[in-house]
Amino acid sequence: SSMKLSLVVSCVLLVVTSISTLDPVLNNEWLSWKSFHGKQYMEEEEIYKRMIWEENMRFIQKHNQEHSMGKHTFTVDINQFGDLTTEEYNQLLTAFHGQIPDDCKEFRPQNPTVLPQTVDWRIEGLVTPVKNQGTCRSCWAFSATGALEGQMFKKKGKLVSLSEQNLIDCDKTQKGCRGGYPFRAFQYVKKHGLNSEKNYRYMAKDQDCKGIEKKVATCKDCGFIQKSERHLAAAVASIGPISICVDGSHKSFQFYKKGIYYEKNCLKPINHAMLVVGYASRANKNYWIVKNSYGTTWGDEGYIYMAKDKRNNCAIANNATYPVV
């Protein structure tokens, strides 16, 4: 029992010392962040979460100070991931192993030397509003529906939001809320077709497959792009929005807010799927326009502008695929 007692005492001490290290100046900001994101905690958990949050606030302050000194090309800000350590945030990502299969067709650029300077498929109406995957590790499904939505629009002239939940529940070659690949999703849609978001709503969890007959999207094949930003640009310009996978494991990505995202350590294994919807440049800096699936409170209204032609930063061109409709 003395063992138990000392354990209790050390826990109490830990809580007390933790409370004393919390910054009271941040009290109001902490309360408004919690209420904005609908966060509720048990008492002990709250102190632990607050400590992580303050740690993240310090990182954000330091980064943005360095940004104002010209050390970074982007800013960061607190968001829904504010109470997660980088390790905890990384648990929302999925590790991508394995190669793009042989039955995906390789994209061959017509004439890669003449590309438009700017491409933005949002303006052309090929891109649905930003969605939110929640705590389900389903980025692969959002990346895939995004690419399909664009191709279906090109084919039918109508933008229909497609169902990620349909893929999560019914594509048995994937792991649902534990991860998957956009190109496998295209192979699934080739065999089975895909429902609309409206008919098959997103629940952010694994469920049984519902056999809804009314399919609104199909595709003939999957295509892949050689590991080169030049080829990716040619594909984005001629095809439309393209599914990509990047290294999104860094704290700077977790809290990205605005500007051109360049992370010198960004070369780890790829672990997050998104959608390139265009590219552009400002002040002689080229960037990719990338749609994420973290809702609009993350990043620049849900988007991230990623450094382009900077030696394939974050491995952005290494796993680019699209549906052939």
Active-site position among 219, 272, 313, 314: 272
Give CA separation, 290 vs 119, 285, 301, 320, 321, in Å.
12, 16, 11, 13, 14
Q: What Rg value do the Cα atoms of the chain yield, rounded?
A: 22
Active-site position among 56, 79, 195, 292: 292
In the Cβ-directed half-sphere of 119, how many Cα atoms lie within 13 Å?
23
The vertex-165 CA angle with 123 and 104, nearest 5°, equals 70
Q: How far apart are CA 263 and CA 28, in angstroms?
A: 32
Q: How far apart are CA 111 and CA 234, in angstroms?
A: 8
292 counts as catalytic = yes
**Residue 272 corresponds to which tokens in the numbers above?**
């997050």
**Residue 277 corresponds to which tokens in the numbers above?**
């919807």
Instruction: For residue 162, give the nearest of 137, 144, 174 by alpha carbon.
Output: 144
231 counts as catalytic = no
Q: How far apart are CA 188 and CA 218, in angstroms?
A: 9
Active-site position among 56, 79, 136, 139: 139
319 counts as catalytic = no
Instruction: For residue 105, give the nearest of 210, 3, 165, 190 by alpha carbon.
Output: 190
Show which residues are catalytic.
139, 272, 292
